[in-house]
Structure 1
Amino acid sequence: MKALKMMFAAFAFAGATAQAATNQEIINHVSYNVILATYNDLASQTANLKTAVDALAANPTQENLNNAQAAWRAARVPWESSESFLFGPVDSLGIDPMLDTWPLNKLDLDNVLKSNRAITTDFVRALGTNLQGFHTIEYLLFGDGTSANTKPVSALTGKQFEYLKATSALLAEHAATLAYTWSTNYDPENPSAPGYVKVISKPGFDNQFYTSDRAVMEEFVQGMMGIVDEVANGKMSDPMGADIGSANMALVESPFAWNSLNDFTNNIRSVYSIYTGHYRTTKGPGVKALVERVNPALAAQVEQDILNCMQLIQAIRPANGGDFGQAIFTPDGRARTQKAIDALNALHGVLESEVLPTLDM
């Protein structure tokens, strides 16, 4: 908890150093140093995950399983930290579902694992998106998600190693493609198309996607609003249900690794990055700089609201172990969850009613 408070304090300090900037300066910084940087990190971390899975398959030790689990968690960070900007190629090329479809089709996956089929990357590529990606790998690497989030390496079978290798290779391939579409070419059917980072960072009348800097800034704000709403009213509310009796573990994302709360926190961290322009150790102007020109008090308050939402999400974690999937089956955990949902909905309201209108001021 002490480390968490220090992390949030660091975020708050970073936010306080934001400087006024033009819309174009905001757009350039966010496009290159937040969005593109995040996708580059995703490509790097998924490549590391593939390497860790290959090492595990070649030498199935508990240490190597632990390493592969850690690599999965590390790769999850940049992906979940990208969800306030799920526009551009990640959407138009259908990369999002190939990386992160949930719920996992466990029934069909188990049937494939029982079959005599050769498990290759191309074989997995041809299957549905709910039989590949992060959550397929999670299901194979971690525990059942109900009573434990880990397993002995002896529980893994030869067929599961085949599937892990194929799926992690495909995940790394898709992540590399996503980074490439932003850095180099956003349209595989048009070799002369630039990287999407150039498209979004150069709005104008000759830009078919963004005719003005306002259009880009609106894309940023709408992306922030979208993930805030999804975390509150989808990722958290749907599994929680109306009462304990209707709570549904099958709807919890990242349940096997007990990583849901980290996922949700990183989702809101992506909002923080777009808003402040700060990603990892890189600092620069974000949407906050625009809001500051109109209403400095509002600009500061929104940043604190974002940080508060992240803290409230982490506070859902049960004191006696477990994660979101365990918290929603207890009265106290549900109360903490509802508090986070209420804060997220309040943040969404402020983004919609107060931040979005600053684009026209």
Structure 2
Amino acid sequence: MIVTGSQVRQGLNTWFVLPLRRTAIGLGCAGVATLFSACGQTQALITNQTIQGFVDQVVVPSYVSVAAGATQLEQALQTYQQAPTAANLEAARQAWRVARDRWEQTECFAFGPADSEGFDGAMDTWPIDRQGLKTAAAQPVEQREDSRKGFHAIEELLFAATEPTLSDRQHLVILATDLTKQAQGLVTRWQQASDQPAYRSVLLSAGSTDSAYPTLNAAGTEIVQGLVDSLSEVASEKIGGPLETQEPDRFESFVSRNTLSDLRNNWTGAWNVYRGQRSDGVAAGSLQQRLQQQHPVIAQQLDQQFATARQALWAIPEPIETNLASPRGKVAVLTAQTAIAAVSDTLERQVLPLVQ
């Protein structure tokens, strides 16, 4: 069974609305100072500090980390091509896992250049064209369809049941070189201006008259919507599809058995955005802190839901691909799906309206 937004929503309304109404009725205008700067005048949830923390503490460092991971993967595959030993094969596979985990933490801010300039498609299209990949080795990678390159094309060749052939090893290096190029290009587009302004500058200019984001809330909407979309995809598609059909090969990283790590890193990326940083603690001006200051009931609810979702994801027996059919595995996967859907639902129904 796939848990729908309305099913989760029904449970949340009972928990959330009544305590908020009691607070408003019991305290009156003066008692809700954390929600209003003056009676009838709401404080802005999103500030320049919120956006700067999101960009400089989460987005840019995350993409820099992805680019470093892609470079290390490329180097590992070059080593494996030159010396195709079992140890070098395992080292290359581990380098893929590391780069993949870092990439999955960026799913909740796959807007801007990642979307409009095709970096996301070039790096992470799935499902891939397996048949086309077999005949694509001689085709320049920049001329290929996205379904014949990126993380999953590398995964298909690197984690195949049979050891990669010489042709496969050469192909893997070509694919990894392009992956590095795409990852570095994404970093460049966020950090450096060319014929277009750096996207970091675009977001940080939110609220100015000539900005692509005419208000701070417009940038805030982009950030919160990214969280909603990513977590909704995790619940309804990445987990929901295989859970509904009981077909484990519908898990995105089925070949490498890395799907559960994908999902956990999707959670981590969303948690980082919510807290405004990749390290422990709560960043000043972060979405989490702003909600704690202005809408503490919502903040408490989200904190608990994030914690519940984490506990549920880490409770799924590994690998998820082979445990989906077991009674214990099925219950654990369904529990995680429900918990992640709850986070997405609260963000969409309770937080998104605050920034629109």
- Length-normalised TM-score, structure 1: 0.81
Corresponding residue of 2:156: 139
Per the TM alignment, residue 192 of structure 1 is displaced from its structure 2 partner at its CA by: 4.3
Q: 1:292-343, CA deviations, whole angstroms, 9 ceiling, x for partnerless residues? A: 121224313312311321221222224xxxx222222223211111111111
Please give the residue correspondences for 1:280-291 in structure 2 after superposition, counting only pairs within 5 Å: 280=279, 284-285=283-284, 286-291=286-291
Which of 157, 176, 179 lines up with 1:171 in the alignment?
Answer: 179
Which of 61, 67, 70 lines up with 1:37 in the alignment?
Answer: 61
Equivalent-residue separation in structure 1 for 2:46 and 2:143 (angstroms): 46
Equivalent-residue separation in structure 2 for 1:252 and 1:99 (angstroms): 17
Q: 1:45-82, CA deviations, whole angstroms, 9 ceiling, x for partnerless residues? A: 10111011101101111111111111111111221000
CA contact under 8 A between 2:53 and 2:277: conserved in structure 1?
no
Which of 143, 162, 165 lines up with 2:170 in the alignment?
Answer: 162
* 1:269–1:207 CA distance, 2 compared to 1 (3 A): farther
The AA in structure 2 aligned to 1:134 is F
Q: 1:100-155, CA deviations, whole angstroms, 9 ceiling, x for partnerless residues? A: 01112212223446xxx4x6xxx1221211111001111111144xxxxxx6xxx2
CA contact under 8 A between 2:46 and 2:355: conserved in structure 1?
no
Please give the residue correspondences for 1:65-104 in structure 2 after superposition, counting only pairs within 5 Å: 65-104=89-128
Corresponding residue of 2:344: 348
Corresponding residue of 1:272: 271
Corresponding residue of 1:12: none
CA contact under 8 A between 1:56 and 1:64: conserved in structure 2?
yes
Per the TM alignment, residue 202 of structure 1 is displaced from its structure 2 partner at its CA by: 1.6
Corresponding residue of 2:10: none
Corresponding residue of 1:224: 227
Instruction: Compare CA radii of gyration and give the structure with the larger one.
Output: 2
Corresponding residue of 2:355: 359
Gaps of 5+ in 1: 1-20, 145-150, 186-190
The answer to which of 253-262 and 101-110 deviates more is 101-110
* 1:282–1:68 CA distance, 2 compared to 1 (3 A): farther
Corresponding residue of 1:55: 79
- Length-normalised TM-score, structure 2: 0.82
Q: 1:180-215, CA deviations, whole angstroms, 9 ceiling, x for partnerless residues? A: 000003xxxxx3422101110121243442111111
Gaps of 5+ in 2: 1-44
Q: 1:66-99, CA deviations, whole angstroms, 9 ceiling, x for partnerless residues? A: 1111111111122100011011000000111110
Per the TM alignment, residue 233 of structure 1 is displaced from its structure 2 partner at its CA by: 0.2
- Whether 2:256 is the aligned partner of 1:257: answer yes
CA contact under 8 A between 1:81 and 1:270: conserved in structure 2?
yes
State the Cα RMSD in Å.
2.0
Corresponding residue of 1:236: 239
Give percent identity, aligned residues only: 28
